[in-house]
Structures are given as C-alpha cells and as structure tokens.
Amino acid sequence: MMKILIIGGNGTIGRKVSAHFKQKHDVLIGGRQSGDVIVDMTDAQSIQAMFDSVGAVDAVVSIAGEAKWAPFETLSEDDFYIGLKSKLMGQVNLVRIGREYVNAAGSFTLTTGILADHPVRFTTSAAMVNGAIHSFVKAAALELKDGMRINVVSSGLVEDAVDKYEEYFPGHNPIPMQKVINGYIKSVEGSGTGDIIRMYDNR
Ligand SMILES: NC(=O)c1ccc[n+]([C@@H]2O[C@H](COP(=O)([O-])OP(=O)(O)OC[C@H]3O[C@@H](n4cnc5c(N)ncnc54)[C@H](OP(=O)(O)O)[C@@H]3O)[C@@H](O)[C@H]2O)c1
C-alpha cells in the first residue's frame, strides 16, 4: 500500500483517479476549496506548508492547474502569466519542493493534455504550458535521485468534461475515464520515468 497525495483529486478527472487509488492505497487529496489538505499550487509557500503537514509520501499526483483560454489577439501578458504560474510553475514547484518529501523509489505524476501536440483555437497559452511541462518532465527525470520517477499524463478531452469543452474540440474522440485512469496507474504503479503518457488516438 502506498501513501499517495493527489492535488486536484476532487476535480473532474481527479475524483475518478482518486476513487481508483483509494481501493488499494492510502490517498490524501489536496485542493484550494476542498480536500484533506488545503493548498494553492500557485503559491510556493502554500505547497511547502502542504508537504510539512502531510509528511513523507510514496507518490505525488497533480491533476490540477489552470491556463486562460481566449483568442490570441485578446490575451494580455498577464493572461499568459496565469498559465505560467498555475499549470506550469505550480506543477514544477510541486516537484521542486516535493522531492524532499517523496520516499526513495517514489514518483511524481503531472498532468498536461492533447493541446501540447494538437492545439485547438484559443489555446496559445494552454498549449504552450503543456509543451513546457513535457520538456520539464523529460529533463527532471535525468536528475531525480534515489530511484525517484516522474511522468506526465497527457489526455484528450475526457468523457466527463465533454459538456464543458465539446465546442472547442470539433471531431475529437472523447477519452473514456477508465483509459485516463490507466495513464495514472501506469505512472504510479509502473516503472517508467520521463514518460509522456499520451491517452488519445494520434488524431
Ligand atoms: N477535462 C479534460 O478533458 C482534460 C483533458 C486533458 C487535460 N486536462 C487537464 O487536467 C487537469 C484537471 O482537469 P479537470 O477537468 O479535472 O479540471 P477540474 O474539474 O477543474 O478540476 C481541477 C481540480 O484542481 C484543483 N485546483 C485547481 N487549481 C488549483 C490550485 N491553484 N491549487 C490547488 N488545487 C487546484 C481544483 O480544486 P479546488 O477548486 O478546490 O482548488 C479542482 O478540484 C487540468 O490541468 C486540465 O487542463 C483536462
């Protein structure tokens, strides 16, 4: 049994992933509004306080992080910083700070999405941070010590979010929730590192 900390574990994807891992593992959920530990991943001090209260864990899973979706011509510099601070540096800081709290042979699993490879309109910010996270994961895997692993799950539009995002993804095949869950299982319970676990068809 592992002790798994899931940031965003009450979200659309997170609640399904948490429910799965709870069957076998000790799961703690982190979030701004709800969870076993309250954390705002845009704030490094809040991340530090979360790890101080939770202590050592075997796996950290991030299924959180936001970026602003809007037409490129309307995105201000500050709008871009939303994604840089939340989805990108929020997840980087979870690893940067969290590596002191993850047990030997433990793992980090981050979340991006199909936009890194196949952007759609209005995602210059969201697609950009997803791509940056992929590069971060490949590079960080080279340097993590004590058998610590890091991967990222990149899913297409998930079935549970179709109502919210369908209009942005014309012709995309919604990804079944079990397929998305499997990406997180592969990262946490498998042995790969530096992997971008893509959960979508090539197109
Ligand atoms: N939905 C999709 O089809 C899809 C596909 C591929 C990738 N993704 C990515 O997967 C991630 C999760 O997506 P989702 O659809 O499950 O989103 P969601 O339903 O909005 O859930 C996100 C969760 O993250 C938490 N969260 C957000 N910002 C946070 C912060 N600054 N600090 C701590 N917790 C925070 C939220 O809880 P609180 O409000 O309590 O903080 C919420 O429970 C996102 O990064 C999204 O871009 C989504």
The ligand 1 atom nearest the CA atom of 114: 6
Alpha carbon 33 to its chain centroid, in Å, reads: 18
Query: Over 80: is that where the pLDDT of 74 sits?
Result: yes
CA of 8 to the centre of ligand 1 (A): 6
Q: How many C-alpha atoms does 61 have within 13 Å on its Cβ side?
A: 30
Query: Over 90: is that where the pLDDT of 57 sits?
Result: yes
Residue whose CA lies nearest to ligand 1 atom number 4: 157
Q: Fill in the amino acid letter for 183.
A: G
Confidence of residue 160 (pLDDT cuts 50, 70, 90): very high
Which pLDDT score is estimated for 201? Answer: 82
Kindly state the average pLDDT of the residues 72-84: 98
Residue whose CA lies nearest to ligand 1 atom number 5: 157
The per-residue pLDDT of the chain, averaged, comes to 97
Distances (CA, A) of 99 to 8, 111, 123, 150: 19, 17, 30, 10
Q: How far apart are CA 53 and CA 160, in angstroms?
A: 32
Ligand 1 pocket mutation pick from 27, 32, 181 by most atoms within 8 angstroms of CB: 32
Question: Cα–Cα–Cα angle for 168, 170, 174, nearest 5°?
Answer: 90
Query: Over 80: is that where the pLDDT of 198 sits?
Result: yes
Burial of residue 36 (number of CB atoms within 10 Å: 0-12, 13-18, 19+)? middle
- Two tokens, residue 37: 């530990």
Q: Who lines ligand 1 at CB under 6 A?
A: 7-8, 10-14, 31-34, 39-42, 63-66, 86-87, 90, 111, 113, 155, 157-158, 161
- Two tokens, residue 91: 């997840």
- Two tokens, residue 127: 């697609």
| Residue 32 and residue 38 in contact, taking contact as beta carbons nearer than 8 Å | yes
Kindly state the average pLDDT of the residues 156-176: 94
Assessment of whether the complete model's pTM goes beyond 0.95: yes
* 45 closest CA partner among 107, 79, 96: 96
Kind of pairing between the strands at 149-155 and 57-62: unpaired
CA of 87 to the centre of ligand 1 (A): 9
Kindly state the average pLDDT of the residues 88-94: 98
In degrees and rounded to multiples of 5, residue 65 shows phi and psi of: 125, 135
